[in-house]
Structure formats: C-alpha cells, structure tokens
Amino acid sequence: MTVEMVLASERTLQGQEFAALYAEAQQFYALQMQILDAHDTERWAGTFTEDAVFELLAPAGPVPARAGLARYERAGAAAQRLAGSLLNHWVGMLDVQPRTDGSLHTRCSALLYATPTGAGSKILYVCVMEDVLVRSRGEWRIAHRRVIRDDLA
C-alpha cells in the first residue's frame, strides 16, 4: 500500500510539473503572437536566442539569427500597411515534449489571417509550427523554429 501511494504521488507530481511546463509554453506563445501582431519587431526577435534559426518552408527560405528575424518581420509589417489590412496569428493544438536537456520540443497548428479594413477576416495560411524552446536568462526562447505551410508541404 505504501509503495502504491508513493508511486501515485510521484505520478501526480510529474503531472503537475508537466502541467506547469505546458502552461508556460501556452503563455509564451500567446505573448509571442501578440507581440508579433503588434509589429514590435525588436521585442519579437528577442523571443529567439541570439543564434536561432527560423526555418520557413516557403519561398522566402530560412532566416538566420535574431537580426535577420527583425528585418523579416519589419518587411512583413510594411507590406501589411500597404495592403491596408490587419494581419493576425492564431496558435492551437499545442503538443509539448520536455527533453532531458531541459529544452521543450513543441508542435502546433498556426493560422495566419488577414482582416481588410471594413471587411471580414480571411485565412491566408494554415501551418504546422515546430519549435525548440530553451531557457535563456530565465525566460523561454526559441532556438529553432520550423514552419511548414500546408499549401507547400
């Protein structure tokens, strides 16, 4: 009976630890997407490690490191302003896999949608987003991101 209680207690603790990690990952993505949608490019780039790689399986190709990410996002924001529409992201169906080195491997669905002024929203892209999150200076940051658009897969 005692062994069963200890094992059940360990499973509960592991479950609680995982639940806390999962909640941290969800919060990370919620904040990161809000920063991205607000076009706060430097802050968004700061959610990546200094040597991060953003692997975009699209015509643009991979974007290396933080400086390249900020340039990429600034160009996207400028294009959006010219188009006269709001561009937003939605992330869901999050799967979080903790690794023994302390990193998190995540996979989720991501939608990119546009809302033209005075019109309804339209989904532009449906993607799968795979990340490696690492702790850096006490916060989760992306070391590697791979985005696969459904229309190009």
The per-residue pLDDT for 106 is 98
Q: How far apart are CA 10 and CA 136, in angstroms?
A: 28
Q: How far apart are CA 27 and CA 13, in angstroms?
A: 21
Q: How many CA atoms lie within 13 A of 7 on its CB side?
A: 4
List, for residues 56-69, the tens digit of each pLDDT value: 876 566 666 666 66
The per-residue pLDDT for 25 is 98
Instruction: Please give the full DSSP string across 96-123, using - where no structure is assigned.
Output: EEE-TTS-EEEEEEEEEEEEETTS--EE
Taking only the tens of pLDDT, the chain with its 153 residues reads 455 554 554 455 488 999 999 999 999 999 999 999 998 888 999 999 999 988 887 656 666 666 666 676 667 666 766 677 888 999 999 999 999 999 999 999 999 998 888 889 999 899 999 999 999 999 999 999 999 988 886
* Phi/psi at 62 (5° precision): -70, 150
The per-residue pLDDT for 134 is 98
Q: Which long-range contacts (CB under 8 A, 24 or more apart) does 26-32 make?
A: 26/94, 28/133, 28/140, 29/91, 29/94, 29/108, 30/91
What's the predicted TM-score (pTM) here?
0.81
Cβ atoms of 138 and 44 within 8 Å: the answer is: no
> What structural domains and CATH numbers belong to the chain?
2-152 (3.10.450.50)
Strands 85-98 and 104-116: antiparallel
